[in-house]
Chain A
Amino acid sequence: MSAPFAWIRPEPWGIHIVPADTWVDPSRAVPRALVTHGHADHARGGHGETLATPATLAIMQLRYNTQAGAVPVDYGESIAIGGGVRATFLPAGHVLGSAQILLERAGERVIITGDYKRAPDPTCAPFAVTPCDIFITEATFGLPVFTHPPIGEEISKLLKSLSENAEGSVLVGAYALGKAQRVIAELRAAGHHDTIFLHGAMEAMCRLYEEQGVALGDLRLVSDAPSKDAMRGAIVLAPPSALNDRWSRRLPAPLTAMASGWMRVRGRARQRGVELPLVISDHADWNELTTTIAAVNPQETWITHGREEALLRWCQLNQRRARALALVGYEDEDD
């Protein structure tokens, strides 16, 4: 009999399920991949076969035009992937279609969270706490300085600034997949039903969300606005890279906002010239990370992509077995 959990092996470019010769979120093309969600640092094209939730596959098709080899797996559905391994996709609460992947073999249970959060999000299914032996968790915001406030507070801040800046516009930098749609949905839930203007890079993903049943209200492209004046008093959404770009010159007196977990730290906001920081993240904050580990209560915690050191230290202090994985290709995204 082989050593416990020898069938699962972290490599720099992904997690290898050895007996099934299948990879989770690999950063290079492989014969068969399980993909947790559609963000570029987890999903890429070129795999022989891609197993993911239907929504994630739709996102991947939009982004990488990957139709060949797509195998949809619904939440809760359990499939045999070979080598005696079963894989189950469970909601992760990160973005539309995002999943944790539960792998089971000979009574041993491993969960790979992908990216996740515990805060409520109207655009995706909530994280399911599931018992396991090895819990492989993300740690993007793995420092105790990161606490994401309730999103309602940040949305109120945004609407207050909008009312104070009625002559101009509020330009919100938000990641094009997930963050943008969540901000829109939360604005609608807060009773803001005005037209929201979009950067061109946001359009297709917003349409996909709507096709998947997430209502986003009245949206319009900035390039379709009849005049600069038409955008006075309006919220405009753009990818963070467009905030200080020439593109923003077409907006009426924009106040620069950014929706990101990094906005918790003043220096990060100032570096990017952000005047209105909105601490909105699709990742677990420190408190969510630590309470999730405690609730799942695994024998061992493996920590990946992000600030592994601090979370490792927390596990140590709380007498939990843990190790840090060094995976490549996962970077500070514009969360």
Chain B
Amino acid sequence: MEEFAALLDALVYTTSRNRKLALIAAYLRSQPDPDRGWALAGLTEGLNFPAVKSSTIRNLMMERIDPVLWALSRDFVGDTAETASLLWPGPEDAAPQTPLSLAEVVERLSDLTRATAPKELADLFDRKDAKGRYALIKLATGGIRVGVSARLAKTAFAQAFDVAVEEVEEYWHALVPPYAELFDWAADGATPPDLAGVPRFRPFMLAHPLEDGEIDLSDYAAEWKWDGIRVQLVRTTNHEGRAETRVYSRSGDDISATFPELLGALPVDAVLDGELLVRGSAQGGEAGGAASFNALQQRLGRKTVSAKMLKESPAFVRLYDVLLCEGTDWREAPWKLRRATLEALMPHLPASHFDLSALVEADDFAHLARIRESARDAAIEGLMLKHRDSPYVAGRKAALWYKWKRDPLLVDCVVMYAQRGSGKRSSFHSDFTFGCWDGDPDAGAELLPVGKAYTGFTDAELKQLDKFVRQNTLNRFGPVREVKRELVFEVAFDSVHTSKRHKSGIAMRFPRIHRIRWDKPAHEADKIAALRALIKD
């Protein structure tokens, strides 16, 4: 447990992704089973101890400290777990005890009931220092939040044992903490875990951006790139005859609970690749199309979904590909065969929950380019180009699939605020907030912020920008500086939507700095009205 507490503490203060990976990998290599498996579960939020809530901790403290002192401390620290870890009064005469392993702590936490939790937790707290108590409370109440995503933890695992992260992803959802089979396989070379009967995730096939040059349409098929979220739908029947369906996101996260309407919709065992969308009229044109990404966003990230949401914004999947179907693994087969299989499957799938991503037919590449240009109105992201003979392979493989995004939209904005970056960029002002005019700048119009971006410039440009910020600061608010309204950015973005969160009433998707217009006077930057005209909600 001490080692886990030290790991959490180190992760709290580390901003560099590589250093985080190295810390977790070193921990996983050095710690015994099953401790390291429990640690991995803790980091990926795979643990749940229902008997311990934040209120359990607070009540425990109330018995030991004056409520006014508690409230003042909690207000200052801003985090219940940390406040409790700092304030816990150690026992007067602590007899030395053998330290508990992480596995022992997890076992004791699992055995807790609402009735036994206070006394047992107090005993555990007594055995630890502030750092140990912090780790313990975070572990027990869930939500460790040390800037480590599940994906990062899996990457660290792969790095620790020199295995492919795609393979780790494959096994991950089939196993439960402390992932003994996973460690046996990766660390000790045992046979890989048995995954029969488990609706597990298969790594996605991804596309390279089409940079330049033409491709031959007799080799490549084209289809729309829809603006939803890429999902994998997996249905498996186990040896007891029970079927289970799961929905996985592109990162391999299980998002089944967020989209319950899909879980009973697939009538056959299969693994399907598609775009998750909600019903609306913005994408796909005619009736039965999809709403804009903005509408889908309302449904993302929820653990429970209300009946009202299910009714108003039902989800469906626009299918791209088939990986497995009724016992046959199609991944080695060429795309054209998989496409035929998918088309043959469609009549068996309920139209309420599935449709097929149509192919885009074009006479030649130039014709396709024209079709792509007109795609703006359909509010879709661009085109996908898939080699007709391509197998379905994990990750990005050259020359098999290309994504050919629409050219981005461009707008000229004026820099208003700059903030220091983090990590390597902590001494540079690298995060910029920019605005557009709310009327005629020569007639007294004002700038309203329309977006924020921190990519799209070179290191040399970053230095110049930093210098500009320092020489043109009007006001300082902590790490943020307000600058003179002088510098124009040509900002590229994918789309623009209405937003109540911003005073300008709009929000951009994927804004990035396309060009720095040192030459352009600020009053020639664009007006909000120009951006508003591009809204396709």
Contact = CB atoms under 8 A, between A and B. Distances in A.
Given A144-B87, A266-B12, A274-B13, A310 B72 contact: yes
Contacts of A276: 13
B427 A143 contact: no
B73 A144 contact: yes
B13 A265 contact: no
A144 B73 CA distance: 7
A317 interface: yes
B13 A269 contact: yes
Contact of B427 (A249, A267, A310, A313): A249
Given A143-B76, A244-B427, A246-B427, A273 B69 contact: no
B65 interface: yes
A275 B86 contact: no
Nearest to B86: A145
B422 A273 contact: yes
A223 B15 CA distance: 28
B11 to A, nearest CB: 11
Interface in A188-209: none
B68 interface: yes
A145 B14 CA distance: 23
A317 B66 contact: yes
Nearest to B9: A266
Contacts of B86: 144-145, 147, 264-265
B15 A273 contact: yes
Contacts of B466: 246
Given A244-B420, A307-B72, A273 B14 contact: no
Contacts of B420: 244
Interface stretch (B77-85, B108-116, B231-239): B77-85
A274 to B, nearest CB: 7
Given A144-B87, A266-B12, A267-B77, A310 B82 contact: no
Interface in A253-271: 256, 264-267, 269-270
B149 interface: no
What's the interface size class on B, roughly?
20 to 34
Contacts of A313: 66, 68-69, 72
A219 to B, nearest CB: 24
B426 interface: yes
A248 interface: yes
A267 B79 contact: yes
A334 to B, nearest CB: 14
A314 B66 CA distance: 9
Interface in B49-66: 65-66
A77 interface: no
Given A145-B87, A264-B86, A267-B79, A273 B72 contact: no
Contacts of A264: 86
Interface centre among A145, A245, A307, A313 (most CB of B within 10 A): A145
B12 A270 contact: yes
A143 B73 CA distance: 6
A277 interface: yes
Contacts of A288: none
Contact of A145 (B68, B73, B426): B73
* Size bracket of the A interface: 20 to 34
Contact of A248 (B13, B66, B87, B427): B427
A133 interface: no
Contacts of B12: 266, 270
Given A245-B427, A270-B13, A143 B422 contact: no
Interface in B371-412: none
B76 A145 contact: yes
B130 to A, nearest CB: 8
A232 to B, nearest CB: 18
A244 B87 contact: no
A145 B75 CA distance: 11
Contacts of A265: 76-77, 82, 86
A291 to B, nearest CB: 15
A248 B420 CA distance: 14
B72 A267 contact: no
A270 B423 CA distance: 12
A186 interface: no
B65 A144 contact: yes
A309 interface: yes
Interface in A291-318: 307, 309-310, 313-314, 317
A310 B76 CA distance: 11
B17 to A, nearest CB: 14
A60 B334 CA distance: 82
Interface string B1-41: 00000000000111100000000000000000000000000
A304 to B, nearest CB: 17
Contacts of A270: 12-13
Nearest to A309: B72
B26 to A, nearest CB: 12
A317 B66 CA distance: 9
A148 B15 CA distance: 25
A307 B82 CA distance: 19
Given A249-B427, A265-B82, A317-B66, A310 B15 contact: no
Contacts of A145: 73, 76-77, 83, 86-87
B291 to A, nearest CB: 38
Contact of B82 (A147, A249, A266, A277): A266
A149 to B, nearest CB: 9
B15 A275 contact: yes
Nearest to B79: A267
B169 to A, nearest CB: 30
A273 B419 CA distance: 14
B13 A310 contact: no
Contact of A275 (B13, B65, B78, B79): B13
A244 B426 contact: yes
Contacts of B65: 144
Question: Which of A249, A264, A265, A317 counts the most chain B CB atoms within 10 A?
Answer: A265
A275 B15 CA distance: 8
A309 to B, nearest CB: 6
By Cβ-Cβ distance, the 9 closest A-B pairs, closest first, are A145-B86, A310-B72, A145-B73, A244-B426, A313-B68, A275-B13, A273-B426, A143-B73, A246-B427
15 contacts: A144-B86, A145-B86, A244-B420, A244-B426, A246-B427, A246-B466, A249-B427, A267-B78, A267-B79, A273-B15, A274-B13, A276-B13, A309-B72, A310-B69, A310-B72
Given A269-B13, A307-B76, A309-B72, 18 more contacts: A143-B69, A143-B72, A144-B86, A145-B87, A246-B427, A246-B466, A265-B76, A265-B77, A266-B12, A266-B13, A266-B79, A267-B79, A273-B422, A275-B13, A310-B68, A310-B72, A313-B68, A317-B66
